[in-house]
Amino acid sequence: MHPVPAPPRMPLRQSWPPALVARYRAAGYWRGETFPGFLRERAAQYADDIAVVGGDTRLSYARLWAEAGRIGAGLLAQGLVPGDRVVVQLGNTVDFVSVVCGLFRAGLIPVYALPAHRFTEVAHVLRKAEANAYIAGAAVEGFDYRTLARQLQADIPALRHVLIVGDAAEFVAVSALAGDAARLPPDPDPQSVAFLQLSGGSTGLSKLIPRTHDDYLYSFRASNEICAIGRDSVYLVALPAAHNFPMSSPGFFGALYAGARVVLSPGAGPDVAFPLIARERVTCVGLVPPLALLWAQAAANTAHDLSSLAVVQVGGAKLVPEAARRVIDGLGCRLQQVFGMAEGLVNYTRLHDPLDCVIHTQGRPISADDEVLVLDDHGNPVAEGEVGHLLTRGPYTIRGYHNDPGANARAFTEDGFYRTGDRVQQLPGGYLVVQGRAGDHINRAGEKISAEEIEDHLLAHASVFDAAVVSMPDAYLGERSCAFVIARGDPPTAASLKAWVRGRGLAAFKVPDQVVFVEAFGTTAVGKISRRELRAQLRERFIEQTGEPR
Ligand code: AMP
Ligand code: DBH
């Protein structure tokens, strides 16, 4: 019997116009470095220094490199071929780092899923990336990823390889992988796609973001400089490691690039993170606003020594000035605001910026070659200091999503600017103040939720006639999700609708926080209104009626 040849896959591409490629190289942004290339160098330079700490495991730079080789060669021995895409869904353990580095060494393409993702999201990502392998932890926080793997395999024939960290049951254990390191491929082309990152998604499910070695390495190398990450730094991964912020701004990759130490925290709460900070003398951490506030409060009466913390970065969602003050006062260290996106552009307040700037702005771009436009609804530049739509292009901002012509037509202009969907104000010096989003998504403490995606799931319920999901101001989360529902026949209970959404195999953070039943949505005089206007109207009306905070 002949093996069935794999069908051709959509190639992975990310390219910039030749003139800009030349410019980004000449400026020294793109240096022809790659993930396996820099990891090999650090293993030689800092062989015995500790690179990664998680639980009781401590890996030196040399051991990390060796582990990556074992895993990479083992995956090739399993029948994977360089270029294959591998969905990785792991929690904050040392294995996250060694598996991803193993994929890089083998020329395999990591596709990052969040631990919170469930069947619907992971299946979408597997299909969209045309992945043939899935690597997950056995069980994390009571959820068994092996059960999920079985459901995925039953549904997606192309998913040929399942690898599990921990008790693998019928699957292959990552710890058992072994292979011939001589079969590992040479280092990749620095301009090739290194991995696929996920977008928060404002229209439906996540889009896949192809990032190249050259562009991503530039983003975290330059971030290291801005965030003062050096060999003596200890970087704590408190947010999910798969998220672009703790991965690259400067994140654990920045820390590894610098020869620093990465500490993975299995949880983001003060109870888990504070003892780790004290034990490992952590110097830098990235948090979302609600967590930063929680930390600031808990720091007031903790027995743990947090004095090593030099910089607390806050990003992912807007940190309002009052919260910024509380973070600074509570944690007694430097605050750095970070406004970034997995698509590229990252803004930082600088470590020596005046307090006023750190409190009131979301920083300015990494690069002198980050081009920023602030446009009105008609595409014209706004007057200086006015609020408008943020568009950007530059040496580490993508030119297109993977395998999604529809999204690309919407999200990119003809001359290659990415429409971020954010509304901002640009201050002198290029500092940006985020004023909200134009799109229909909910930023729930940094977790992005697409209104459209959740509406689709609600509409699949037999007792739902129509649904509109909107963001509501929330004192703790920043924004929470509220579903306005017109029932068909007897209205279901709010709890049963929430259970329905959860039962559709979605991440728990996407379940509406609040369900409000209404008789009708109401229309404008014109009769027909866009979903976007409808959502805005519902939101405004609800806030007027209930006096909810703005
Ligand atoms: P994603 O595309 O999923 O990576 O999410 C990026 C989005 O998160 C940005 O476009 C912003 O809407 C939001 N975001 C990230 N950082 C901040 C911040 N510091 N302040 C306000 N919004 C932020
Ligand atoms: O929210 C984000 O996506 C984000 C926030 C801060 C990000 O991707 C980043 C920094 O790199």
Q: Does 540 reside within a domain?
A: yes
Categorize the per-residue pLDDT at 202 as very low, low, confident or very high, splitting at 50, 70 and 90.
low
SS3 assignment, position 174: helix
Ligand 2 centroid to Cα of residue 287, in Å, is: 10
Q: Does 264 reside within a domain?
A: yes
Q: At what angle do helices 451-459 and 494-503 cross, to 10 degrees?
A: 100
Ligand 1 pocket, 91 CB below 6 A? Answer: no
Same domain as 398, residue 523: no
Q: What is the mean pLDDT of residues 226-233?
A: 98
Quick one: tokens of 527? 């009769």
Q: Does 478 reside within a domain?
A: yes
Categorize the per-residue pLDDT at 475 as very low, low, confident or very high, splitting at 50, 70 and 90.
confident
Task: Give the ligand with the smallest distance to the CA of 437.
Answer: 1
Ligand 2 centroid to Cα of residue 139, in Å, is: 27
Ligand 1 pocket, 249 CB below 6 A? Answer: no
CA gap 323, 190 in Å, rounded: 41
Q: Does 435 reside within a domain?
A: no
Same domain as 378, residue 229: yes
Query: Which of these three, 426, 454, 476, is where a domain ends?
Result: 426
Q: Does 230 reside within a domain?
A: yes
Query: Which of these three, 393, 426, 459, is where a domain ends?
Result: 426
Same domain as 518, residue 402: no
Query: By residue range, what is the domain housing residue 306?
Result: 18-426
CA gap 83, 99 in Å, rounded: 16
Handedness of CA 262, 88, 84, 121 (dihedral sign): negative
Same domain as 131, residue 212: yes
Ligand 2 centroid to Cα of residue 209, in Å, is: 13
pLDDT at residue 1 above 60? no
Ligand 1 pocket, 478 CB below 6 A? Answer: no
Same domain as 215, residue 133: yes
Other Cβ atoms closer than 10 A to 281:
15
Q: Does 2 reside within a domain?
A: no
374-422 residue pLDDT tens: 999 999 999 999 999 999 999 999 999 999 999 999 999 999 999 999 9
Residue nearest to atom 22 of ligand 1 (CA): 317
Q: Does 11 reside within a domain?
A: no
**Residue 134 belongs to domain with CATH number:** 3.40.50.12780
Concatenating the DSSP letter of every residue in 304-370 gives S--TT--EEEEESS---HHHHHHHHHHH-SEEEEEEEETTEEEEE--TTS-HHHHHH---EES-TT-
Q: Does 434 reside within a domain?
A: no
Task: Give the ligand with the smallest distance to the CA of 208.
Answer: 1
> Of the residues 215, 346, 362, 444, which should be mutated to test ligand 2's pocket, given the most ligand atoms within 8 Å of the CB?
346
Amino acid letter at 533? E
Ligand 1 pocket, 287 CB below 6 A? Answer: no
Q: What are phi and psi of 165, to 5 degrees?
A: -85, 125
Same domain as 345, residue 422: yes
Q: What is the mean pLDDT of the chain?
A: 94
Ligand 2 centroid to Cα of residue 240, in Å, is: 12
Same domain as 250, residue 108: yes
Q: How far is CA 32 from the centre of its chain?
A: 25
Ligand 1 centroid to Cα of residue 414, in Å, is: 23
Same domain as 391, residue 245: yes
CA gap 273, 253 in Å, rounded: 20
pLDDT at residue 436 above 90? no
CA gap 348, 366 in Å, rounded: 7
Same domain as 352, residue 379: yes
Query: Which of these three, 380, 396, 426, is where a domain ends?
Result: 426
Same domain as 537, residue 403: no
In the chain, how many domains are there?
2
Categorize the per-residue pLDDT at 541 as very low, low, confident or very high, splitting at 50, 70 and 90.
confident
Categorize the per-residue pLDDT at 525 as very low, low, confident or very high, splitting at 50, 70 and 90.
very low
Task: Give the ligand with the smallest distance to the CA of 432.
Answer: 1
487-517 residue pLDDT tens: 998 889 999 999 999 999 999 999 999 999 9
Categorize the per-residue pLDDT at 277 as very low, low, confident or very high, splitting at 50, 70 and 90.
very high
Other Cβ atoms closer than 10 A to 41:
15
CA gap 186, 72 in Å, rounded: 12
316-360 residue pLDDT tens: 999 999 999 999 999 999 999 999 999 999 999 999 999 999 999
Ligand 1 pocket, 400 CB below 6 A? Answer: no
Categorize the per-residue pLDDT at 153 as very low, low, confident or very high, splitting at 50, 70 and 90.
very high
Same domain as 338, residue 265: yes
Q: What is the mean pLDDT of residues 245-265?
A: 98
SS3 assignment, position 69: helix
Q: What pLDDT is recorded for position 466?
A: 86
CA distances from 421 to 183, 202, 434, 439, 441 (A): 44, 9, 11, 6, 10
Same domain as 355, residue 227: yes
pLDDT at residue 550 above 80? no
- The whole-model pTM stands at 0.93
Q: What pLDDT is recorded for position 438?
A: 73
Q: CB-based contacts of 526: which residues, under 8 Å, 6+ apart?
A: none
Q: What pLDDT is recorded for position 32?
A: 98
